[in-house]
Structure 1
């Protein structure tokens, strides 16, 4: 019988670089196809916020799957309005629209900004990542993944991240929105100056542009608050979310302030906010609500344990710069039962489940420090 690798090479487009097959997960651990156990600080790239196969989440998924799997948005969907209400309340914004991914959510934010302002130009930041669909890719800086597909139909300028003076020079009366990550994740956990997010708010207000905060990676408790913008004193007009919202069931969405909303026919999706995704989202919400008070302390435990590596941390979103050693550090960790992620080529990113235990943090810190000393 052909192996998974053989079948993948023959039938699946080679868009991903993979080196192992994960077959099982429980809590903060996963197992590969040869039986090796790993402490997982990748968590599906910040997706498995409640850990792998949390019993409350799996029970909710199974229960819903026995009742109704799909009905489309032609009808009221079980759990959809209830989850929207919870997300609206914790974000302290307005109404929700669900999608199937973070990129799709950012596309919705782009459409809503165009619809509301009547403008078509956007501003993003150098090293920001917003997705790979046509609209979200237009606002993603990385030239290697964006330029081969241009023109993308959404004019976007890129400003240096964290530089408000530079931002002032590119935001104009033609700008529909400034879209940004409150912490850059794909680049390696880059935390901007404290005045950056309030400064974006001021610049957007002066130009009549919307402020769109991409919380796909930073949201759902990852940084110690429900959403990372809540570490600042201002509110965006729109936030996008995905990743950690449903513990691995595909789901995303936007939340917009009052007065910003799609009306009938302006946007839609066949699968978005379906019964199983909403059941998973509701169960995930409750687990995150319980875990959230301890996220900041767990992040500090990582920061203290990795102090020699000068880490950057906001809650359980942790990164450090390792230069050309980053891939070797990741491989050493994998060989010693720990999964971590290289981001931006030179940075190590740690985005563990929010339910990770202190003893698991200490174990991870020990292996990472050994790796940094050994490679």
Structure 2
């Protein structure tokens, strides 16, 4: 590992300069822009509240935002730039493949990175002290989703999948968890199939559930429309473990077809006082119900502010503090440990739900399963 880049100088600290946190956020296409907007809203709200409470020993937190646009190379360049700008730590990112690139660069530079939302288990190629994560590892959440499928009576499960490390990992987790329990996973390659051909394949394979391991809005929206309007598939369940239906645009694009598509969400069944207050503030800021991604953004700054109050802008001491974090977040008490096969400091575990949009009221979410 190369030598850590220098944090803000003693002179800057003495002069009362702001404490900078670099924020990696997907804000333009082809990124999942809705997720980026919610993530940024949570980050910004927590920064504002931290500064209202006195900042870091009287110094304001400054959020330095860079758009990753779901591009690993842009993320790596942003990490390099933010390191040169003297940020004390990095926060954010939603897309797993992008977060993995950012984490590798942060590790090489000796720059603490608290990843908000990406779930890919192997966030770094080798264990690192510099990276911590709030979102659950993919294997944890997707096994809970697999248990939900079995409990709902589904053992022949088709996955409409695009090529990516994230989707391939998800399909493998499902297969490994379901196979010993009598479940079968049938992979449908979306490079070769149209939405109509997906319907034919579901009939041929006698699948009872179809999982969308594809991008949003396309081809996810077109697949849902085709399946919903095929009379042969009236009884099939459509699921989206990656959370495509979480955001309002899903319901806007699909209308009544948006309902009854179970997905993973990382919120408790009931928010505590802090979570309820933050939920109200986020709703006002966003103009809509906040997703779990907005809470992840808020909790990220909450943790970093707590660490920075103890250690200032010293990057090495920040990284050393991950195992000592004990912060009450919006979704429970946050502590980090090192579960196998992740390589990073991990909150074990955030609350996990399987939810869907209520067919009688698509704007309302129903909790179907918790883990």
Q: Provide the TM-score with structure 2 as the length reference.
A: 0.36
With CA pairs under 8 Å and 6+ residues apart, which has the higher RCO, 1 or 2? 1
Q: Provide the TM-score with structure 1 as the length reference.
A: 0.35
